[in-house]
Amino acid sequence: MANIIKIHHLHKSFGQLEVLKNIDFHVEQGEVITIIGSSGSGKSTLLRCINLLEMPDGGEILYHDQDILKNGININEHRTHVGMVFQSFNLFNNKNVLENCMIGQMKVLKRSKQEAEEKAMYYLEKVGMKEFAHAGSMQLSGGQKQRVAIARALCMDPEVLLFDEPTSALDPEMVGGILDVMKQLASEGLTMIVVTHEMAFAKEVSSRVIFMDQGVIAEEGTPQELFEKPKQARTKEFLHRYRSTSV
Amino acid sequence: MGLHLIIAANSTNFLTNTWNVFTRYHVMFLNAIKSTLLVAFVGTIVGLLIGLIIGGVRAVTSNQEHNQKTSAKIINKIIYAITSIYVEVFRGTPMMVQAMFLYYTFFAPVFKWSPLASAMVIISINTGAYMAEIMRSGIQSVDKGQVEGARSIGMNNFQTMRYIVLPQAIKNSFPSIGNEFVVNIKDSCVLNCITFSELFFAAKSVQGSIFSYAEPFLIVGILYLILTFITSRILGLIEKRMNHRKSSYPSSVTTPNSSVMKG
């Protein structure tokens, strides 16, 4: 299996606060990696470093063996290959659903309007939002917004899709639908890195689980290894705390 | 009793006089209305364009990103400083002073511009300084997530501004932008000092002919009021329509704070 992303010795600080301390990991083609951990452990920052919404202070991020932190790398092009789905959706408020999915294709990938619209409708149908294509993005519910946001990201034909707590801002009854969409994408072989608090999803879908604690990868392994037989004390503690608060 | 009657008789007399002055000089007043509206409108539109550019530049350069190179940071600071000088100078001095200085130093003697052309340029530059601050705060009122969403699909800074941020910033600041137009209708009166014949100038001319202040200035006062009243109503309707469009914003949307408005 080919490594799509390799991360070596990644460091990131916000002022005095060291958020990522020497992170090393790699992602293979078709893998679904979930990153779990308590808030403030650096999960989201790590994810945001991968498509350079945050600039790391040190280390290497290799995308197909090319260091994207080096000068001369086209960051905008990199972002079309590594898409992102946000906790707060970030749909464009001044555009309707269809336009949200088309603008990147037309302005960044320079696709024709017709091609962009066809692709947008294809992915909107896939996420179950085809009939909302002409609705304003502010009229949608949270779950619907997140479906559109996923479609928007898919329209750019990314090789990897990053999910930053995609269900954390949703009403509980909306969560299942989004997770179903993500499961389907995973089954179709899309490479995904998912920061989540949905342990059942992590267990069921991921090929590997990474547990982060205080800016380091404390433990990583298959879902069976990590959830059934965690080695580290802090992993056990986290999982225990999680089970006692979520039910 | 007698005194009341005299006052009543006098005021009826005065109103009749005013009406007579208006009918006698109405061509002059109507032409002056055209000039006032033209200059206010051009000033607002050109000012908005200046404001979009300068405000956009200021919004971008005032955000020091941590991943910038030192050279980029210095260039940003210099650009920000230059735009600050423009904004501070034109917001910090009276438009009348700007008009007198620019017109009699450059526009009339050097460029040979007419009072109308000079008036348009002066009001545009002046409005631009206010618009720059309106747009800067309008841009900063757009949710940061909008920028991240745009960057995450590969849009560059310019595309993000052009297609995502500015349309929302203009919409958010529309009340302030409209307010500038109303302010310009009134404040264009100071441009009479460069012999530009707008409403105030017309009133002064009429006053010179009839040797009376009250009638002509009551007339232009009413005319200004009619102009600003109608304009505010129209702007209010546009604003209402914008907010009732299908992709409308939530009611809690941030509007630029009032401190940047011309006061």
In chain A, residues with a C-beta closer than 8 Å to the C-beta of B67 are: 55
Q: Give pLDDT tens digits for B98-156.
A: 999 999 999 999 999 999 999 999 999 999 999 999 999 999 999 999 999 999 999 99
What string of pLDDT tens digits covers the 247 residues of chain A?
578 999 999 999 998 899 999 999 999 999 999 999 988 899 999 999 999 999 999 999 999 999 999 888 889 999 999 999 999 999 999 999 999 999 999 999 999 999 999 999 999 999 999 999 999 988 899 999 999 999 999 999 999 999 999 999 998 888 999 999 999 999 999 999 999 999 999 999 999 999 999 999 999 999 999 999 999 999 998 998 887 765 4
Write down all domains in chain B, each with its CATH number in brackets: 19-262 (1.10.3720.10)
ipTM of the complex: 0.91
C-alpha to C-alpha distance for B165 and B177, rounded to whole angstroms: 16
Instruction: Report the gap between the CA of A228 and the closest CA in chain B (Å).
Output: 35
Amino acid at position A211, single letter: F
| Cα separation values, B108 from A81, A131, B100, B255, Å | 58, 62, 10, 40
Instruction: Report the gap between the CA of B169 and the closest CA in chain A (Å).
Output: 10
Contact between chains at B155 and A90 (C-beta distance less than 8 A): no
User: What tokens were used for A26?
Assistant: 């790699």
| Residue A229: Cβ-neighbour burial (10 angstroms; 0-12, 13-18, 19+) | exposed
In chain A, residues with a C-beta closer than 8 Å to the C-beta of B152 are: 51, 53, 79, 83-84, 86, 90, 153
Give the largest CA-CA distance in chain A. Answer: 55
C-alpha to C-alpha distance for A103 and A111, rounded to whole angstroms: 10
Contact between chains at A136 and B246 (C-beta distance less than 8 A): yes
Q: Please give the model's pTM, rounded to 2 decimal places.
A: 0.82
Reduced to 3 states (helix: H, G, I; strand: E, B; else coil), residue A74 is: coil
Q: Which of A13, A50, A92 would best serve as a mutation to test chain B binding (most B beta carbons within 10 A)?
A: A92
| Cα separation values, A49 from A23, A44, B246, Å | 11, 9, 36
Q: Give pLDDT tens digits for B15-33.
A: 999 999 999 999 999 999 9
- Number of CB pairs < 8 Å for A and B? 84
C-alpha to C-alpha distance for A129 and A133, rounded to whole angstroms: 7
Contact between chains at B66 and A108 (C-beta distance less than 8 A): no
Task: Tell me which DSSP letter residue B102 carries.
Answer: H
For residues A187 and A156, the answer to whether their CB atoms sit within 8 Å is no
In chain A, residues with a C-beta closer than 8 Å to the C-beta of B168 are: 93-94
Contact between chains at A90 and B245 (C-beta distance less than 8 A): no
Instruction: Report the gap between the CA of B44 and the closest CA in chain A (Å).
Output: 24
Contact between chains at A79 and B151 (C-beta distance less than 8 A): yes
Contact between chains at A90 and B152 (C-beta distance less than 8 A): yes
User: What tokens were used for B10?
Assistant: 């006098």
Amino acid at position A128, single letter: G
Contact between chains at A104 and B151 (C-beta distance less than 8 A): no
In chain B, residues with a C-beta closer than 8 Å to the C-beta of A94 are: 164, 167-168, 171, 247
Q: Are strands A208-213 and A32-36 parallel, antiparallel or unpaired?
A: parallel
